[in-house]
Amino acid sequence: MDLRVQQASVTEIDTPLLIVNLFEGVTQPEGATGAVDRALGGQISQLIADGEITGEPATVTVIHTNNGHSGLKARRVAVVGLGKQSDPEQERFENARVAAALAARKARELKVDSFATIVHGAGAGGLSLETAARATMESSILALYRYEQFKEATKSNHSVGACTIVEQDAERTRALEQQAELARVTCDAVMKVRDLSVGPGNYVTPTFLADTAREVASAHGLEIVVWGKDELKAHGMNAILAVNAGSAQPPAFVAMKYSAPAATKTLAVVGKGITFDSGGISIKPADHMEYMRHDMTGAATVIGFMQLAAATHLAVNVLGVFAATENLPSGSSYKPGDVFKAYNGKTMEIVNTDAEGRVILSDSLAYAVEQKPDAIIDFATLTGACQVALGDHATGLMTNNQRLADQLLAAGEKSGDRCWQLPLWKVYGEQIKTAMADVRNSGGRRAGAITAALFLKEFVADVPWIHLDIAGTAYADGEQTYVAPYNPKPGATGVGVRLLWHFCQSWT
């Protein structure tokens, strides 16, 4: 969808659908909504009095204007609810995102080719113009995402072609044009992650991920290194090779580098890239195993963020690293009881082949440490335990550096990709001790997300590091009771891209 900004009065813009908003408890609308109300002869005020328009979050009311018989050029008006002006800032931010997303979906439902909207949540809403604009623009685009690459007869026959942000003030219009460009490239990156994450495993293979990384690197002038099986053997990346041993698909290891002019700091972003996870010898139940095609979302996040870093000329050097492989059972698969030496020389005992993500991450993290970054953040759909603990609305955060964690938690509130910190107390490490090796790859069911993070901690040395378990936030499945309308259901969310961008704006 094309995103535009136009300096105009809301009463003068010619559009099939105009989106305005209302806060809960307001009986006499003001600002742009008030102007539209007056042009409609007080119709919005009357619907408020009648109780049809309430301003409650996640509500949309459509008014047909009988174009030509009102003071508007818009043929329809939709009033979206923004909740209470007294709500906490994070709730007001989320209400603005939801309002924009629902409005965009209403436009698609009405089968209009385009729509116009004001920015939701700025001014009386208490949000800065920048924050409110990003919420409105990004959600309007992301809400209309559909993955239909493999649909033929059932492919959707209508798409909304354009969204116009309307602003009467010239200076604010110029500011909105800058935000629009940022929103466009951000959504491009998020939707690349979504496309990769949701793609079927016979299509999004390790080779496909590596080729996609090459395409992004070529398009944006990034450095890239890609290693296959022979290079992995030569460099001693035995953990990646162990997980790959049962698959006919060759593995791939990718390191991408974005260099910012005059940057003094480097962030390493590491992702888990299991393109399909059967569990291996420790095989998973058959029910919902098809969702295991999403187990490479961490790697997809790396690719998407590298694209965004380059497109926005981020003022931080970024190293993006991921290993990609399938995890399948066969006569050559790695087995419970096997022992392998990782890239940094530490040994691991495999007690569960379905705890494979942390195994390939061990080599990837050790490689990242070798490049001497100032910090490492890894993304992994790592444990069902994290989803049990935090549900579908918060990413689990574990760290060896509290200052880094505090900055990332704050970025989560700004971006909407919210995180919640879990402890890495030393006592949990007792669960991954073994007489066979330096560490074992599973500490059992109890505190499974934490013991998985403690396993990863063995491979980051003393580099400031954050582990983000996105098992609950990477994908919205049919069992979730609530999915924000800017995310598809079912489908991949693209979590993490905006989180990292906001983190890098304030990283000190």
List residues with catalytic annotation. 284, 358
The residue among 101, 176, 178 whose CA lies nearest residue 140 is: 101
Q: What are phi and psi of 420, to 5 degrees?
A: -135, 130
**Length, in residues, of the chain:** 508
Q: Look at strands 339-341 and 347-349 and give their pairing.
A: antiparallel
| Cβ contacts of 197 within 8 Å, gap of 6 or more | 294, 296, 297, 300, 474, 475, 492, 494
Cis geometry, peptide bond prior to residue 490 (ω within 30 degrees of 0)? yes
Strand extents, DSSP E, 335-424:
339-341, 347-349, 375-380, 395-399, 419-421
Q: Look at strands 162-167 and 2-7 and give their pairing.
A: parallel
Can you tell me the distance from the alpha carbon of 206 to that of 249, in angstroms, rounded to the nearest whole number?
Answer: 7
The secondary structure element, H or E, covering residue 454 is: helix 448-457
N-term to C-term CA, the chain: 36
In angstroms, what is the C-alpha Rg of the chain?
24
Distances (CA, A) of 500 to 195, 309, 415, 427: 19, 9, 9, 30
Q: Look at strands 223-227 and 114-117 and give their pairing.
A: unpaired
Q: What are phi and psi of 112, to 5 degrees?
A: -85, 155
Contact status, residue 408 vs residue 498, Cβ threshold 8 Å: no
Residue 219 in 3-state DSSP? helix
Instruction: List Cβ<8 Å contacts ≥24 apart for 439-445.
Output: 439/346, 439/347, 439/348, 439/349, 440/348, 440/349, 440/350, 440/351, 441/348, 441/349, 441/350, 441/351, 441/352, 441/355, 441/358, 441/359, 442/351, 442/352, 442/355, 445/385
Q: What are phi and psi of 145, to 5 degrees?
A: -65, 135
Residue 105 in 3-state DSSP? helix
Angle formed at CA 122 by CA 116 and CA 124, multiple of 5 degrees? 120
